[in-house]
Amino acid sequence: MSEPAPTIRFMTWNIHGSLGRNRRFDLARVVELIRRWSPDIVVLQEVDSRRTPGSDDPFVLLQEALGRHGIAARSITTADGHYGQMLISCCPILNGEIHDISAPEREPRRAIRAEIETPAGTVRVVATHLGLSIGERRRQAKLLLALAGEPNMTTIVLGDFNDWFWAGSVRSVLAAALPGHSGFRTFPAVFPLLRLDRIYCRPRDAVRRLFTDRRARHLSDHLPVIADVALMDQPMAQG
């Protein structure tokens, strides 16, 4: 009997600037919850240094606390600080890019694309936080598919997709190309109704486990999504 393929753990979480239900900023507890699950690769949305001016930069603190390698996509920069998303990895990033996927006259949006060398093989990762309007998200979904590239390695697309419709939605477009995906209700965290935060994977059977953590409801208005994925680092047929 062959040994089961090794897995890599991915996590996505919109940390809402680390503003919890007690209306306090508590980055230390955010880090504690993430470490509890020991993700190899974690992507975070709504990292925000503007809410706590004069304190340590959360972009720096999160990177130092959670992984040796990382990419920070600061989509908004003001005199008070920065706002955006991060990809943090315990494994080396072979190449990393930040793509502007903003729609005209809408809030700036970014996608991070990286190929990461892990003990289980190379994985392509696209991390994002999509816009609030339907038309904006539809355009951004097409851009995400282009960033996902050819089906020549295990590919993960994850983040906060702000998507709650099915017909013509981001969900239907991405699930067709990346058929292994989560479906947890993640927002609002205290009583989740909407499936905003997702992990999509190609090929489908690479996904070994998917779960969330309801304890995160005290730390953000979103719940995290966590996936264990077996990497298949060779050419493959899509799906």
- The residues that bridge with 7 in the sheet, in sequence order, are 230
Question: Long-range contacts for 206-212 (Cβ within 8 Å, ≥24 apart)?
Answer: 206/154, 206/180, 206/230, 206/231, 206/232, 207/180, 207/181, 208/7, 209/7, 210/182, 210/184, 212/184, 212/186
Let me know if residue 239 belongs to a domain.
no
**pLDDT value of position 52:** 63
Let me know if residue 113 belongs to a domain.
yes
Let me know if residue 106 belongs to a domain.
yes
Question: Which of helix, strand or coil describes residue 176?
Answer: helix
List the structure tokens of 63: 């990177």
CATH number (domain holding residue 149):
3.60.10.10
Let me know if residue 86 belongs to a domain.
yes
**CB count in 10 Å sphere of residue 168:** 12
Sign, Cα dihedral of 217, 197, 182, 96: negative
Let me know if residue 2 belongs to a domain.
no
Let me know if residue 75 belongs to a domain.
yes
Mind listing the pLDDT tens digit for each residue in 207-237?
999 999 999 999 999 999 999 999 875 444 4
Considering its fold, how many domains does the chain have in total? 1
What is d(CA 102, CA 186) in angstroms, rounded to the nearest whole number? 24
Domain range for residue 112? 7-230
Q: What is the dihedral of CA 39, 56, 20, 34, to 10 degrees?
A: 10
Which residues of the chain are under the pLDDT cut of 70?
1-3, 17-25, 51-55, 165-168, 233-239
**pLDDT value of position 166:** 62
Let me know if residue 235 belongs to a domain.
no
Q: Look up the pTM and report it.
A: 0.92
**pLDDT value of position 100:** 97
**What is the b/e burial string over 83-99, where b = at least 16 CB atoms within 10 angstroms of the residue's CB?**
bbbbbbbbbebeebebb
**pLDDT value of position 237:** 41
**pLDDT value of position 24:** 55
Let me know if residue 81 belongs to a domain.
yes
